[in-house]
Structure 1
Amino acid sequence: MLPANLPILAIDLPGHGLSSMYPVGIFHHSTEDIVALRRVVKHFQWKEKLNLMGHSLGSIYSFVYSSLFPNEVNKYIGFDNIKITANDNDKFVRQSGLEIDRFLKFMENPDYRPEYTWDVIVERQKKGSMDSMTIESTKLLLQRGAYKSAKKEGYFGFRRDIRQMVSVHSRLPQEHIREMASRLRCEVLYIKFKGAKYYEDKRKVDEIVEIIKKNSKYFEYHEVEGTHHGHLNNPENVAPIVGNFLKTI
């Protein structure tokens, strides 16, 4: 539904979809994913400014990239999230040790991958999204997110790296996020779905939005009907907004 002449590269980050995983033993941190994005840019030797579009974690990474390389981003489009979730300092300290042990438990058998029938894996994926995806959307994501079992006919497993479940070290203090927001210089489109929750105190999000408004070249905000995966369930609700934002490319 986007302009037909628009060049688009959609990326499976390491540990997602059809991309390979990070080496065994590495405690996954979001910094590695930002480095992966930078590697893509360097690999293709792009000289023109980038236009970044992402949903949820993809939007957060786009925000981070836009702040780290403010002179290299033209437009940033974010669906439902626009900032890293801020640390709760007390919770961060209390949970860090537990998360490290949880990671090591995963690594005791890194090749363990439970497999399910198609109907079951679809249901597990849908529940994992807190039922924010329709069955049709769930099946669409599983085209790249699931593999066919080589052991059992009619069974499937998730491709994702289980280390993605350990994420306590992927958050930052709010003061760091403020500084990142102040560095954005690109045009920004932020679309929030009305049926989706905030993952922290909304006032922290509003604070960052105000900083982005003040420092970015242009800021546009829309609230649209839908759940956290509203862009996937009902793309027709957001495509005209995105298309109009991209007209000046």
Structure 2
Amino acid sequence: MPDSPDKKHEPGAGNVSGSEESTSMAEPEDWEEVEVDIGWGTLRGKARGCGPHLMLGLHGWLDNANTFDLVAYMIPNSVRFISLDLPGHGLSDHFPSGFIYDPRGYMTAVKKAVVKMGWQGFTLLGHSMGAVVAIMYAAVFPEDVHALISIDIIKTWSYSAHKQAVHLNKYIMEYFDNEKMAAQPALVYTEEQLVQKVIDGSKSLDERGAKILLKRGARPSECGKGLILQRDIRAKTFFIGFKSLDVWAAEARAITCPILLMMATEGHSYETKEGHDTMLKAFADSSKNYRYHEVEGKHHIHLTNPSAVAQCLSDFLMECTDVGTVAANGSSP
């Protein structure tokens, strides 16, 4: 197996209590903390499994590496699975001052981590923004990715050419004073307030899912009066659609590895029906093994309907990747 990142065996920031229902279906001791030095800072995450197969998980906007806790139990132990905190999220370092958060920056950080770990040939799993990063990564660095799995997104918004400048202006101005905002004291919440804030903000999480994310996404305040969020406030400025539908479709056609797309029946839509169908056809045209499933639920289906997502994930790994080949041959890691 390629070199693994530095390991930390101390637990993550498990500061939000929860019932047994809110714990991972994988036992806590199955996970270990990992760190990857990427030059300007450190990315952190959590890992399980022995290898030799490799899988990297990327969470959605303002979430963290705990996002796959309820589906990880269906990933075979022969897969070394690392769920990564993207920059400015979870326990990972924040981007340096003046840096703009968007999928291109996240993709570059992921590439730095992959090179540092010495990984070659892995499955890339992403949810929402993390899936956008994964799709871009698989198109730009196809030699790295043996299989791609996307949960409830196939692209971000695309604006018409005559509206692009207006949206870019708004995007930049929203960033303009972010350094000042980041320097302000963090807001302090009770656990109940923070859980409700996450549920309301996502519009797709339940209490169990919110608590799972907050175990890694929040920590006790220095004043001792409650909890504060660990994410970089600059990451809250949501990225714009910086590519046209034609460019997105071309990148989708550039991905030739096996692809699994799982879409929520009540999920987010970033495209017209015609554009959505164009993207699905683009993925299917070039992929060696293309699968599309709709899963009942809202945007965070992997946290609210984990059994259905986990089954799709397991079937894909066993039937469409070399994970299944090893299992069929009775090989052990």
**What TM-score results when the alignment is normalised by the length of structure 1?**
0.93
- CA deviations on 1:18-43 (whole Å, 9 max, x unpaired) are 00101112222321110111011101
Q: Hey, what's the Cα distance between the residues in 2 that align with 1:89 and 1:115?
A: 42
Match of 1:217 in 2: 288
Q: Give the paired residue count.
A: 246
> Residues of 2 paired with 1:127 and 1:92: CA distance?
30
Identify which of structures 1 and 2 has the higher relative contact order when contacts are C-alpha pairs closer than 8 Å and 6+ apart.
1
**1:147 CA drift (Å):** 1.6
Q: Which amino acid aligns with 1:9?
A: I
Q: Does structure 2 retain, via aligned residues, the 8 Å contact 1:74–1:187? A: yes
Tell me what 1:15 maps to: 88
Identity of aligned residues (%): 29
Task: Tell me, yes or no, if the aligned pair for 1:18 and 1:159 is still in contact at 8 Å.
Answer: yes
State yes or no: 1:140 paired with 2:199.
Answer: no
In the alignment, structure 1 residue 42 sits paired with structure 2 residue 135: no
| 3-state DSSP of counterpart to 2:223 | coil
Greater mean alpha carbon deviation, residues 97-106 or residues 70-79: 97-106
Q: CA deviation at 1:182?
A: 1.5
**Normalized per residue, which structure has more helix?**
1
CA distance in 1, matches of 2:305, 2:252: 29
Whole-Å separation in 2 of the counterparts to 1:133 and 1:169: 23
Query: In the aligned structure 2, how far is the partner of 1:193 from the partner of 1:168?
Result: 22
Aligned partners of 2:159 and 2:235: how far apart in 1?
18
Counterparts of 1:208 and 1:139, CA distance in 2: 34
> Counterparts of 1:22-171 in structure 2 under 5 Å?
22-47=95-120, 49-112=121-184, 113-130=186-203, 132-153=204-225, 155-169=226-240, 171=242
The answer on whether the counterparts of 2:264 and 2:294 sit within 8 Å (CA) in structure 1 is yes
CA gap 1:151/1:92 in 2 versus in 1, 3 angstroms? farther
- Listed as ranges, the gaps of 5+ residues in structure 1 are none
Superposition deviation, residue 14 in structure 1: 0.6
Asked if the contact 1:122–1:139 (Cα under 8 Å) also holds between the matched residues in 2, the reply is yes
